[in-house]
A and B are shown apart, each in its own frame.
Chain A
Amino acid sequence: MIGSNTTEAHPVLALRIKKAVRKGATLVVADPRAIWLTKIAKRHLQLRPGSDVWLLNAIMHTILEEGLEAEEYVREQTEDFEAVREVVSRYPPEEAERWTGVPAEAIRATAREYATERHAAIFYTLGITEHACGVDNIWSLANLVLMTGHLGYESTGLNALRGQNNVQGLNDSGANPTYLPGYQPVDDPVVRAKFSEAWGAEVPERAGFRLDQIMSGLHDDRIKALYLIGENPGHTEPNAHHVAEGLSKLEFLVSQDIFLSDTAERYADVVLPASSFAEKDGTFTNTERRVNRVRAAVPLPGNARGDRQIVLDLARELGCDWPEYPDAESVWNELADLCPNWAGIRYFRLEDEGLQWPCASVDDEGSRFLHEKTTARPSGRGKFHPVEYQPPIEEPDADYPFVLSTGRTLYHYNSGAMTMREDGITDKQRDPFFEISAEDASSLGVADGDWMRLVSRRGDLQARAQVSSRVFPGLVWMALHFAEAKVNWLTHDVGDPLIGTPEYKVSAVRLEVV
C-alpha cells in the first residue's frame, strides 16, 4: 500500500486487506503518516512527502542488484527496460535512506519480498498522484510492476483506488478534454468523424483545456464562463483564494448542484437545482472498472430536476436537435454503441451485479484483469519509463518550516456538502483540526485541542491541534473537509507538468499560537 490511507478513504476495501493479513498475507505500508494499516503491517516505510521516486528507484535498484527481476517477462512482454536499469543504478538504498528517511535495510527487505512473491499487488491512491511529480510516481510504480511481472493475474497488478464513486466512469464517459467517450482520442480525425456522424454535429477539432488550464484561464482572460455540475472549485482546487479571485472575474457562471455552494452563492449567475444519487437511474463505474446500476429510490425535492433532464433541457435551449433520451438506459446504449470496450454492457445484464469492462459483446463475461493476455497497449508490450527524482515545488524553509500534507478522513467527504450535514457524524468530527507531532507541539507550547493558526504564502486558517503519533516532527497534516478553514487556502497550485494534477500533498506552512 503506497500513498493510500485505505481504512479511511476506502474503508470497505480495507476490510479485504485486513482479512488477507489475518490469513497470512504480508503487508507493507509506504506512507509519511503512521496510518491505521501500519498497526497490522509487517513494515512501515515512513517516507518524507514527495520522496516516492527515491524509494521506488531504490527498491528497483535492489531487485536488479540481486537479480530478482522477472527476466523472461521483461524480455517477452515489455520494452525500454535498459533505460530504467541505467537510471535506478544511481539510486542505491543507502543514499535513498538520506532522501526518504526510510532505513536502507527496510528498502532491501521490501524489494526482496515483493519481487519473490508471485501474488504481490500494489495499491495506491492520491498520495502518489497529488504531487508535481505525480506522473513520475506512477511511472516508477509501473516500472516496478513490469520488472517483476506482477501483472494480469489474481492478486497482482498496479491498482489505483478511485477516491470518488464515479471517477472511473466520469473518464470512461468522455468528460475529458483529451478523450471522447471510451478513451478515443479527440485529436484523431477518424474518431472525430465517427462521433460527428453519430451525433449529427461536428466535434470541435481544437484541443480543450484541462482543469488546471481552465483554472489558470480565469486569470489570463482565456476563460470567461464556467458551467459547474456538482463541483465547487472554490473549495477543492489548490490556492483557493486565488481561485476565488479568478471566479470573480468571470462573465458568466452556471452552477448545477444539490446544495448552494459558497462558490455559487457568491459568483453564480444561474443556479439549477439537481438530483442526488438516490433520485436517479443510471450507472457508476467502480475502481475495478465494474459498471454498477444506480436506481432511483425517492422523489426529487420541490422543483429540482434530474441532471439528465437539466442537460437535455439546456441542450434544447441552446438549439441542439438531439434524440429524446426518455431514460438513462437510452443514453447508456448510445455510449455503448460508440465505445467498443463497453459494447457488451447493457442494462439487462446489470440487474443482479455489475460487469467489468472491457466487455466487447453481450456474450462477453467482462474482464477481471485489464492486462490479462498482454498489456493493454497498442504494441502489446508494457513500456518502461525511466524516472529521475524531482524535489517538491515548495520545500520548508526558515519562514515556513513545516511540510503540510492534505487528505481525507473517514467521517467526511471532500467539501463536506453531504457529510457536514449529518448530525450523527459531526458528533464524531466537526471542528477543523490538523495533526502535529508531540515533539513539535511541545516545542511550540500547544496542547491537544488548542487552536492554532496555519499560515502559508497564500493564506491562513485556524484549526485545532491534534497531537498525534501519526506524523513525524516537521510534518503536519490536515483534511480538506472544513468550509470555515479550507486547507486549499494554503496549498499551492503548481501541478504536474504533464497533466496538471495539483501538489496537494506538499506545501510549506508555519504555525502560530492563537
Chain B
Amino acid sequence: MIEFTLDGRPASAQEGELLVHAAARNGVFVPTLCHDDKLEPYGGCRMCVVGVEGSPRPLPACATRVIEGMVVSTNSNVPQLQKTLTEMLLSEHLNADPGGRPNELVDLARELGAEAPLILPDAKREPYSDRNRLMGYEPDTCILCNRCVRYTQEVMQCSALSLEGRGPEARIVPTWERSWLDTECELCGGCLSVCPTGAIYEKFLEGAGVEERQLEQTKTTCTFCGVGCQIDLNVDPETKRIVKVTSKPEYVSNEGDLCVKGRFSFNFVHHPDRLTEPLVRGEDGALHPASWEEALRAAADGLKGVIRRHSAQAIGVLASARLTNEENYLIQKLARIGLGTNSVHSCEAT
C-alpha cells in the first residue's frame, strides 16, 4: 500500500492504482465519461481532471497512477473545470435523449447544473444509416469519447469501427464506411454496451412505445453456449415482451460482455411460430389442436400402450440441454419410475 493525500485527508492506494479507483475507495467520486474499466487508461474527455500538487495543470484521474506522497485535490477549481467541459460537450450534443436511453453526459450535466451555453453553428453532423437491423449510430448524440472504438480494438481485437474525420466532421464509422454487415464486425454489440450517451443503440428499439429507462430488468442466465453469461432481460412493462438484452460489468463469468446471440437473439421468444396449443395427430394423419387434457391423456395412453405391447425398455426419453436442471431432474425421474426405463439421454452425448 502507498500513502497519499486526497482533499486534505490521508488516503491509501494499491501500488500502481489509477487515481480514479483510489479516490473511489477513499469515498471520493470522480466523474468520468471516456473511461471504462475494461479498457486501457485513455484520458480523452478530461471530465475526471483533478489537481495534483506540483503539476502545472490538472491531470486526468482515469489515466494517472497514484504515487507515494501525492497530494490530490478534487474540490478547488475542479468542479468549475468539470462544468465548463460539460458545457462544451453539450454545445455539440444536439440530440441529447433519443429514445429515452440512459445518457451519462446528461446525468452529469444535471448534477453539475451545466447547460449548453450556445449551440455551435457547425455542430450538426452528417447522419449515418446502415442496412443492418440490429445497431444504429446517431452522430449528434456522440461525444467522440472513443470507448466503442477502443472496445473493438482492445476487447474484441477487431477493426470494425474507427473514428473518422476532424472537428465538426468527426464521427464513428464502421471500417471504410461500409455497412456493419460487410466489415469484420461480429455484431456482438460491445460498442453499444460501452457507449455512455446511447449514440450507438439497438435499432429495433426505434419507435418503441416505452422509454428505455422504464424497461423492467430480470437477471437470468443466457440460453446459448456453456459459458453461462449473466444477462438482464429488459421487458416492456406494457407489452410484456423482451425488447433488449443487457449485462453488467460486475456479473461473474462474462463481466458484462455478450456475443451476437446472447445480445440479439431473443425475438424467437415472441415469434409467431411458437407453439401455443397442444397438438394431437388425428385419424386423417394430420396434427390437430387439442386441449391439454386430451393431449396429456393421448401421450400417457400412447406410452402405456407401448409398455403393454412391448416393455418399458422399448421407450427412449431424450432430455435436453435447453432445459433447466430441475426440468431434467424431473424428466429422468419420470423415465425411471414413471415409465420404468433408464433409457434417458440427450444429444449432449457428445
Pair B316/A209 contact, Cβ less than 8 Å: yes
Residues of A within 8 A of B (CB): 7, 9-13, 15, 18-19, 22, 40, 126, 129-130, 134, 161-177, 180-181, 186, 195, 199, 201-204, 206-214, 217, 222-231, 233, 236-237, 251-252, 254, 257-260, 265, 268-274, 276-288, 290-299, 301-305, 307-308, 311-315, 317-318, 320, 322, 325, 328, 331-332, 334-335, 353-354, 410-411, 413, 417-419, 421-425, 427-428, 499-502, 504
Pair A126/B350 contact, Cβ less than 8 Å: yes
Pair B295/A272 contact, Cβ less than 8 Å: yes
- A478 to B300 CA separation, bound complex (whole angstroms): 40
In the complex, residue of chain A having the shortest beta-carbon distance to the beta carbon of B185: A428
Pair A410/B316 contact, Cβ less than 8 Å: no
- A318 to B302 CA separation, bound complex (whole angstroms): 10
The residue among A328, A334, A422 with the most chain B CB atoms within 10 A of its own CB is: A422
In the complex, residue of chain A having the shortest beta-carbon distance to the beta carbon of B278: A272
The residue among A270, A292, A410 with the most chain B CB atoms within 10 A of its own CB is: A270
- A353 to B258 CA separation, bound complex (whole angstroms): 17
Pair B280/A211 contact, Cβ less than 8 Å: no
- A233 to B131 CA separation, bound complex (whole angstroms): 36
Q: Contacts of B303 on A, CB cut-off 8 Å?
A: 225, 227, 252, 254, 318
Pair B337/A418 contact, Cβ less than 8 Å: no
The residue that B325 contacts in the complex, of A11, A173, A421, with Cβ under 8 A, is A173
The yes or no answer to B317 lying at the interface (CB within 8 A) is yes
- A485 to B327 CA separation, bound complex (whole angstroms): 32
Pair A170/B328 contact, Cβ less than 8 Å: yes
In the complex, residue of chain A having the shortest beta-carbon distance to the beta carbon of B239: A298
Pair B338/A170 contact, Cβ less than 8 Å: no
In the complex, residue of chain B having the shortest beta-carbon distance to the beta carbon of A291: B325
Pair B333/A199 contact, Cβ less than 8 Å: yes
The residue that A203 contacts in the complex, of B298, B317, B320, B336, with Cβ under 8 A, is B336
CB-CB nearest 9 A-B residue pairs: A302-B276, A286-B228, A208-B342, A162-B226, A282-B324, A230-B320, A273-B275, A11-B259, A175-B319
Q: How many residues of B contact A (CB 8 A)?
A: 114
The residue that A217 contacts in the complex, of B224, B279, B287, B316, with Cβ under 8 A, is B316
- A204 to B340 CA separation, bound complex (whole angstroms): 6
The residue that B265 contacts in the complex, of A209, A211, A212, A413, with Cβ under 8 A, is A413
In the complex, residue of chain B having the shortest beta-carbon distance to the beta carbon of A306: B327
In the complex, residue of chain B having the shortest beta-carbon distance to the beta carbon of A202: B337
Given A161-B226, A259-B275, CB of A230 within 8 Å of CB of B322: yes
Q: Contacts of B314 on A, CB cut-off 8 Å?
A: 222-225
- Of the listed stretches B72-80, B101-109, B149-157, name the one at the interface; the rest are far from the partner chain: B149-157
The yes or no answer to B83 lying at the interface (CB within 8 A) is no
The yes or no answer to B26 lying at the interface (CB within 8 A) is no
Known contacts A170-B348, A331-B326, A422-B267; 6 further A-B pairs (Cβ under 8 A): A229-B318, A233-B347, A273-B276, A286-B253, A332-B329, A418-B268
- A265 to B287 CA separation, bound complex (whole angstroms): 8
Given A298-B233, A311-B334, CB of A270 within 8 Å of CB of B278: yes
Q: Contacts of B264 on A, CB cut-off 8 Å?
A: 422, 424-425
Q: Contacts of B208 on A, CB cut-off 8 Å?
A: none
In the complex, residue of chain B having the shortest beta-carbon distance to the beta carbon of A290: B228
What are 28 A-B contacts with C-beta separation under 8 Å? A12-B258, A161-B225, A163-B225, A165-B221, A166-B322, A167-B348, A175-B346, A211-B347, A214-B316, A226-B316, A230-B319, A231-B346, A271-B275, A273-B275, A273-B276, A278-B223, A282-B324, A286-B226, A286-B227, A287-B227, A290-B253, A297-B233, A308-B330, A311-B330, A314-B338, A318-B334, A331-B327, A411-B261
Given A231-B347, A421-B268, CB of A303 within 8 Å of CB of B323: no
The yes or no answer to B238 lying at the interface (CB within 8 A) is no
Given A165-B222, A292-B228, A424-B264, CB of A303 within 8 Å of CB of B269: no
Pair B233/A170 contact, Cβ less than 8 Å: no
Given A271-B278, A413-B261, CB of A164 within 8 Å of CB of B316: no
Pair A270/B315 contact, Cβ less than 8 Å: no
How distant is B134 from chain A, measured CB to nearest CB, in Å? 4
- A428 to B130 CA separation, bound complex (whole angstroms): 13
Given A227-B316, A276-B269, CB of A287 within 8 Å of CB of B226: yes
